Structure 1
Amino acid sequence: MKTVLVIEDDIGIQKQLKWSLSDYELVFAADRTSALTQLRRYEPAVVTLDLGLPPDAANASEGLACLADILAAQPDCKVIVITGNTDNEHALKAVALGAYDYYQKPINTDVLNIILARAFKISELETENRALRSANINNSDIIGNSEAILKACRTVEKIAPTEITTLLLGESGTGKEVFARAIHRQSPRINKPFVAINCASIPENLLESELFGYEKGAFTGANKTTLGKIECANGGTLLLDEIGDMPLSLQAKMLRFLQERVIERVGGRQEIEVNVRVICATHRNLAEMVAEQSFREDLYYRISEISLTIPPLRQRGHDIIVIAKALLHRFNDEFNSRVQGFSESAMQAMLHYQWPGNIRELQNKLKSAVILADSKYISEDDLGLSNQSSKTETLRKVREQAETHAIRHAYTLANGNLSKTADSLGITRPTLYALIDKYRLHDLRNVETENP
């Protein structure tokens, strides 16, 4: 429930507001000192302030001073000043000092509710904008302000100016190429090419020529000398995406390139020097692949001079919502749509969903939701998450599931003997019957065998 700080010394008005503003949690203060104490304690986004505060209740000096103190302590707070019905001069002065809005007595709670709702909406929009600005680090496409992502971004800032070979680890769809581009953009090579190649998407017999290029006549169809991705990246950065899928037959040649920074085109004999910063990425566990001898140990240590693990989306907390809103803005522009945001249930569904496809899955769901949405706010149905439970299971449900599983497991081990089932569970036979009836496990009694 949203919190409103009500600064009002009239006990009658306090009671009226407490009854009529039931959609909010109200905290009260009767003077400037207690108001600042409550402000520090609750940090409310919205405050209502009666300008006629003691010890100068007849004038507005104490109320205006309180307003200045609130905005000095919490500049983004939305302060709604409440004045007497003829006190326009003080109301306008309060707005000039930074008050969000003013309202004149006598209080009409319906109107005040509308003003409060609008104030909270403006506050939320401003908070989102600040989050998006602070989350977009160094103008890259890395969006988020969770501790996990900020730690990863700090690592990027440290390694970007160096020439160290970096290995990016993370599940598919976590944004490994985005991080690689961020490293390139923050490096001295920013004005040189960034070239990416996915080692898993190119057939094994073509990957070598894609990487190293080939000379004219090297094989059937090689009608001209063609540069490979490595030469195309000369002076810049080369991303070897999904290097864990590189065939063993090519890994030795890749190791030589990384060590010597020279290549030979397919069908060629000339060594060609190449100045390239190399970043590798994979969703595979290369250490396990080394143990299984499906990835060269020497190549593994050569490409992992420093490793950076990118957290999956499900571990990034509220980043999910920040990213979703940034993507929504992008897709609104792309499809010329006017979707304004997400319903509360949609945001809860996104926060509780596990996102096995990570950011790529989020992109796909949002793109289709923007196209198919029937209202201004995307629902969990639009996202295709309506079947995903966004609520914690009740303790009763958890207990039922656990006890049902335990009974069936014990029943199986006891070969259908209910007496032995009860003994193994540490309960009496009548208690077991009661549980069977309670959880409607009637099939256990129908096939009961009492053979020892």
Structure 2
Amino acid sequence: MTIGMVKKAQAVISNTLVVFGGSNQNWLPAMEAAGWLCHRCYDLRTAETLLLEIGPCIGVVDLSHDDFSIHSFSAMVNRNKQVRWIAIVRDDQLNNEAIGQFIVNFCLDYFSVPIPPERLQQTIGHQIGMLNLERQVWPQLGNFGQQGLQGSTAVMKKLRDQVKRIALSDVPVVISGEIGTGKILVADAIFQASARAKQQVIRVNCETMTADWQIETVSGTESVFEAANNGVLVLEEFTALTDACQQALYQVLAEGYYYNQAGEATTVDIRVISITKYSFDYLVTLTTLRRELYFRLNVVSLTVPTLRERGDDIIVLAEFLLLKYARQYNSVAKSLSEQAQAMLLQYPWPGNVQELICQIKRAVLLAENKCIEAEQLDIPRLVDDKLSLKKVREESERNALLTVLENNKGQISAAARELGVSRATMYRLLNKHELIPPPRCFRQGHA
């Protein structure tokens, strides 16, 4: 069996096969002899990391041995739409409603045991051909892992730089940002760029977490701390944790162990990433949050910018989402008109990235032509319909300059460095928008 790192899909997708479940696949040796790179995976915890590494590929899921929860596997498949799935089942399983729904919703084909090897190989070979054809039509297929972190504006460059630096450490992180800004995506980016990327990532909703920190996994009920051991634990809205939960979590962070169901101390090694919609100024005033826990969690922190702060990056993200959902829903939509782009730029986006996703999905589903027009967007018109894209972009550029000047206390050289431009270019932009600061006046001394 060939095991190892696989590069992301390039222009031509390699003959890569991922097989989940089962223990005795008598058709695999023939696939390997024919030049297929075959990966076996028995643990759903590592499945998403493997699929992100490989990119577009063919997946074969063997359901005939009841190795794992079909519900958990369905959730993972739904998050990895770049994979084409083929199921292996027993004939009696076809009467199972959950398995039937899984095959219909997610699989291109299925085979009953005993497997006809030649037919299975023929089907798999045809599907890799379809993937390569898709790659020609959709060149960005498989590059959807960093949704929400694209962009060239100062705030997004700063965010990506922070993610890169934070990922290299192994300390707890707190991510703050308005609802819908993509905090989970930032947490995932930190995880993927870290030394723990090959390990498991466990995400928990702190609003529903019980005092014993038990969760349902593919292996049954187990401790969150056990499930996340050697990996990463992501706490969604950690401010909602009960006091009892906070005590147990503090024990793990401070002492490196927790008490299992038998009352035994169990050592664990976990990196914690905490997420909240509240500002850091508010967090320090929150009386329901234990001070000692907060300072353990907030070793390093970052704030995810709102969509309205991202300027022209809104268009970059919108076009990215358009490509993604047009492929997913088999839509004719390919681009946004200039008027549609202007409308996206002038809208304040109270729902941030999640609201933009909903808008693009709706427009893609209703599209009848390749170009999406402004009237096809369900966005309130806050400005005159004749507002030009050029005017909106100039206003966005001016606001970005004001922000970076404010961040750097009016120091033009420092602001230029943050924007990644030369001092001369910075002065040109400031002159363009009439933002050159007035000359300093010094009082003459008197003898």
Q: So what's the TM-score if we normalise by structure 1? A: 0.50
Matched, 1:170 2:177: yes
Residue type of the alignment partner of 2:335: G
Identify unmatched segments of 5+ residues in structure 2: 1-137, 388-447
**Map of 2:211 onto structure 1:** 208
SS of equivalent to 1:160: helix
Q: 1:379 maps to what in 2?
A: 373
C-alpha contact 1:339 1:370 (8 A) present in aligned 2 = yes
Distance 1:298-1:264 versus aligned 2 partners, 3 A rule: same
Say which of 153, 156, 163 aligns to 1:149.
156
Over 3 Å counting, the alpha-carbon distance change for 1:382 and 1:162 in structure 2 is same
Residue 146 (structure 1) shift: 1.3
Q: Do the aligned partners of 1:165 and 1:279 also contact (CA within 8 Å) in 2? A: yes
| SS of residue matched to 1:227 | strand
Name which one, 1 or 2, has greater alpha-carbon Rg. Answer: 1
Please, which of 244, 247, 253 is the counterpart of residue 248 of structure 2? 253
Secondary structure at 2:221 match in 1: coil
Question: Once the two structures are superposed, what CA deviation does each residue of 1:258-300 show, in whole Å capped at 9, x if it has no partner?
Answer: 11121224x4311111111111110113543442412111111
State how 1:31-46 maps to structure 2 within 5 Å: none
For residues 23-82 of structure 1, what are the alpha-carbon distances to aligned partners after superposition, in whole Å with 9 as ceiling and x for unaligned?
Answer: xxxxxxxxxxxxxxxxxxxxxxxxxxxxxxxxxxxxxxxxxxxxxxxxxxxxxxxxxxxx
**1:353 touches 1:390 (CA, 8 Å); kept in 2?**
no
**Greater RCO, CA 8 A, separation 6+:** 2
The CA deviation string for residues 309-364 of structure 1, in whole angstroms up to 9 with x for no partner, is 11011000111000000111010111011102112111111101111111111111
Give runs of ≥4 in structure 1 deviating > 4 Å: 390-393
- Kept in 1, the 8 Å contact 2:214–2:221? The answer is no
Q: Counterpart of 1:179 in structure 2: which amino acid?
A: V
**Per the alignment, do residues 341 and 262 of structure 1 end up closer, same or farther by CA in structure 2, a change over 3 Å counting?**
same
3-state DSSP of counterpart to 1:207? coil
Q: Distance in 1 between matches of 2:373 and 2:310?
A: 22
In structure 1, how many angstroms separate the alpha carbons of the residues matched to 2:220 and 2:146? Answer: 36
Q: Does 1:263 align with 2:258?
A: yes
Matched residues, percent identical? 31
State how far apart, in whole Å, the 2-side matches of 1:150 and 1:392 are. Answer: 32
CA distance in 1, matches of 2:284, 2:162: 26
Report the RMSD for the aligned CA atoms in angstroms: 2.8
Q: Within 1, Cα distance between the matches of 2:210 and 2:355?
A: 28
Deviation of residue 229 (structure 1)?
2.6
- Pick aligned residue for 2:302 from 282, 297, 308: 308
Alignment of 1:66-85 (within 5 A): none
- Equivalent residues in 2 for 1:294-305, closer than 5 Å: 294-305=288-299
On the 8 A contact 1:212/1:231 being kept in 2, the answer is no
The residue identity in structure 2 corresponding to 1:378 is I
The Cα of 1:375 is off from its aligned counterpart by 2.6
Provide closer, same or farther for how the CA distance between residues 376 and 156 of structure 1 changes in structure 2, counting only shifts above 3 A.
same
The TM-score with structure 2 as length reference comes to 0.51
Between 1:241-250 and 1:231-240, the stretch displaced more is 241-250
Q: Are residues 166 and 392 of structure 1, via their aligned partners in 2, closer, same or farther at CA, if it must alter by over 3 Å?
A: farther
SS of the residue corresponding to residue 320 of structure 1 reads: helix
Deviation at 1:148, TM superposition (A): 0.4
1:148/1:311 contact within 8 Å kept: yes
Greater mean deviation of Cα atoms: 139-148 or 176-185: 139-148
Q: Which residue of 1 aligns with 2:39?
A: none
The 3 A distance-change label for structure 1 pair 292 and 386 is: closer
Residues 262, 274 of structure 1: 8 Å contact kept: yes
CA contact (8 A) 1:352 1:390 kept: no
Name the structure 2 match of 1:330: 324
Tell me if structure 2 keeps the 8 A contact 1:145–1:319: yes
Question: Would the aligned equivalents of 1:174 and 1:359 in 2 still touch at CA under 8 Å?
Answer: yes
* Aligned twin of 1:398: none
Partner of 1:226: 221
What is the CA–CA distance in structure 2 between the aligned matches of 1:386 and 1:354, rounded to whole Å? 10
1:280 is paired with a residue whose SS is: strand
| Cα distance in 1 between the residues matched to 2:224 and 2:277 | 22
Using the alignment, how far apart are the partners of 1:140 and 1:182 within structure 2? 7
Question: Residues 166 and 306 of structure 1 are in contact (CA less than 8 Å); yes or no, is this contact kept in structure 2?
Answer: yes
Distance change (3 Å), C-alpha of 1:248 and 1:382? farther
Q: State the shift of 1:213 in Å.
A: 5.3
The answer for unaligned runs of 5 or more in structure 1 is 1-128, 215-223, 394-452
